[in-house]
Amino acid sequence: MFRQVAEDVYALSVEFRVGPMDLGGRMTAVRLPDGGLWLHSPVRFGPEARAAVDALGPVRFLVAPNLMHHLHVRDWAAAYPDAKVAAPAALQGKRPDLRIDVALGDAAEAGWADVLDQVLVQGMPRVDEVLFFHRPSRTLFVTDLAFNVHRTGSWFTRVYLTLSGAWQRLAPSLLARSVVKDRQAVRASLARAQAWDVARVVVCHGDVVEQGAQEAVRNAFARF
């Protein structure tokens, strides 16, 4: 079920709808130097997803990368009680039922700092998204700041993303741009992320960007 997109980086794509929106979803697993797994944006938990993860290695971290991608983390945390749950600090107020062991910010947790960098995007408090960069494979992980949807069974999704200037390209949606509260803070955070030497972009919604990733990121972030 997982597709290897780079050395030590594996993506699991699933169906995902929100009302009329058909965006698709994705969980990404990074194999850490100790052989453990760092799971980004866990998808719906079930026996097939669990078997796919177990085939890759032991789970060390479960990462909710923003204030929206947390729905299935509790089920994964129950299945893997030794794994640490990492999430933006503000998620604790939204999900008091969810155990959070690591508050995500600009500093990488010691358990993944050897291979992953991160930036908490300031100025969007309703999102609090953390961008991650896997240095060995030069892979950027984006959750809701930008989509890259090229196919959908929903005419509504196609129209909405076309109006957003985000159909069949890496770009933020109208909703993502509308929740910006401090544009300067957003741009300062994104400037830090643009300093990364990106070779590919793994998004939670849409296709993995395999070619021209650095320019695609620059163009997408410029929309903010």
State the CATH number of the domain containing residue 31. Answer: 3.60.15.10
Alpha carbon distance 81, 174 (integer Å)? 38
* DSSP symbol at 134: E
The mean pLDDT values, 10 residues at a time, for the chain of 224 residues are 96 88 92 98 96 97 97 97 97 95 96 98 98 98 96 91 94 96 98 97 97 97 96
Burial (CB count within 10 angstroms: exposed 0-12, middle 13-18, buried 19+), residue 122: middle
Burial (CB count within 10 angstroms: exposed 0-12, middle 13-18, buried 19+), residue 92: middle
Q: What are phi and psi of 30, to 5 degrees?
A: -115, 130
102-104 and 116-120 strand pairing: unpaired
Q: Angle of helix 213-222 relative to helix 183-194, nearest 10 degrees? A: 170
**Which residues, in sequence order, are CB contacts of 141 under 8 Å at separation 6+?**
28, 40, 65, 131, 132, 133, 134, 201, 202
The token pair at 168 is 């069949």
Domain span at residue 73 reads 3-106+115-222
The token pair at 94 is 């939204």
pTM summary value:
0.96
The token pair at 41 is 């944006």
What integer pLDDT is reported at residue 168 of this predicted model? 95
Alpha carbon distance 37, 31 (integer Å)? 5
Give which of 94, 91, 115 is closest to 104, Cα–Cα: 91
* 21 and 154 Cβ atoms separated by less than 8 Å: yes
- Number of domains comprising the chain: 1
What integer pLDDT is reported at residue 23 of this predicted model? 87
